Structure 1
């Protein structure tokens, strides 16, 4: 319940007394985004809370030479500069979850839910030709990406 947005947290709290108590214990009314910086020359990252105007410095050597592809629910989907290694990283818990090698160039990439949820899927999209879009899917714990081509409907 911790990862639910406020609206969904309130909905599940109506199920029963036990769920109400659990939902209220993790409810965050004013959840707001933070900004994380990725320096080019050292391992010090800065977390910035823009509403509170506070900065926190973290030493995260795990992120050296990486780029953020996507973020959600406190998790970052990272890609090393080699463009092959992708992994999830939680800057708060420092948990790291590797994904299989991804040798595909992609136009967009995202993931559905926290990689620890059991329902997480990573989806990468890329145009292959003018008429074909290539979609690749991977799950935490998988050994390879599953790729499928889809034909674009070019009629307007």
Structure 2
């Protein structure tokens, strides 16, 4: 009998390259040797995915679902999702009775790979995110926590054995915690529940408070920060009817009302990001799909769509909690992230 698990890698890549996204995920169950994808295998689309309980949802046309493996679901069911980038998810262990509370791991549902990050010497964070792009597999994980007049920033990368800690004194007492963060262009931006806005320069290891002003009529408590095209937009709490969308004006150092998504699509939930509305996603232009608990919603900042694709995304927002950013080129493997220099 032929042992299919020992096929040459170039043949396996050729087979996978001819399959759709759902079939590629199903291939993980063929054998252990086929369970990890290779970054040389190109992706076939740039649609985000969604994670609902123990199922992956691929909603563009057919609302198809793929069950996770039991061990994968058990791993993430009691973990807090923080961010998604290029097919990877950043989780924090939230078992309060466990000694490893506050520890983090990276998980790719497309390759079934898990990367354990260094054990932390801090007990949890307010927020966390990761940096990863298509030009380099180098990944940086950020965790932030505020204390009395101080902000602590924790940094590590896959393969590190310890976290680096940076502490900065704040200009005044910030009683509210950091609510959300976004990383872009080498800068980590942080928004506080009172509307204060700060930035951490990764290369210079410097912290700057960009504004201390509060904005009346906008609830920052559940705000979500999204970086796209050099802009920083803030999506407000679902209960705030006024100024639901803001943009930070760097010249004036203040938040201003925003009425346009600049032909992009925003995905808001346990993980947040935006996508350009081009080619396959053009029907979703200027829409926000929010799966925030307990009231998922869809909001339009342009011409409302009634396409099947739009209906499927709205359906997905209503039953999901986590969006997964899907890369337009290839998913980096765990080995790439751990061995990157």
Query: Which of structures 1 and 2 has the larger relative contact order (alpha carbons within 8 angstroms, sep 6+)?
Result: 2
2:108 is aligned with 1:90: yes
Alignment of 1:73-152 (within 5 A): 73-82=86-95, 83-102=101-120, 103-113=122-132, 117-129=136-148, 131-152=149-170
Tell me what 2:9 maps to.
none
Shift of 1:110: 0.4
In structure 1, distance between residues paired with 2:47 and 2:70:
22
Displacement of 1:92 = 0.9
Which secondary structure state, in structure 2, belongs to the residue aligned with residue 84 of structure 1? coil
Deviation string 1:78-111 (CA, Å, 9 cap, x unpaired) is: 2223323311111111111110112332111001
Provide the TM-score with structure 2 as the length reference: 0.33
Give, in whole Å, the separation in 2 of the partners of 1:60 and 1:113.
Answer: 27
1:36 aligns with 2:51: yes
Give the conservation status (yes or no) of the 8 Å contact 2:125–2:145: yes
1:8-47 deviation per Cα after TM superposition (whole angstroms, max 9, x unaligned): xxxxxxxxxxxxxxxxx9475x522111123xxxxxx111
Q: Which residue of 2 aligns with 1:5?
A: none
Matches of 2:72 and 2:65, distance apart in 1? 20
Q: Give the TM-score normalised by structure 1.
A: 0.67
Deviations 1:63-91 (A, max 9, x none): 41323222111101122233233111111
Bigger shift: 64-73 or 86-95?
64-73
Pair member with larger Rg: 2
Say yes or no: does 1:47 pair with 2:47.
no
Aligned mate of 1:66, from 53, 57, 79: 79
Q: Which runs of 5+ in 2 are unaligned?
A: 1-40, 96-100, 173-211, 214-341
Q: 1:61 to 1:67 in 2, by over 3 A?
A: farther
Aligned residues: CA RMSD: 2.3
C-alpha change, 1:27 and 1:88, in structure 2 (3 Å) is: closer
Please give the alpha-carbon distance, in whole angstroms, between the structure 2 residues aligned to 1:61 and 1:67.
17
The number of residues matched between the two structures is 122
Partner-residue secondary structure (3-state), 2:72 = helix
Runs of 4+ aligned residues of structure 1 deviating over 3 Å after TM superposition are 25-28
1:70 match: secondary structure: strand
Note closer, same or farther for the CA distance 1:27–1:91 as it changes in structure 2 (3 Å cut).
closer
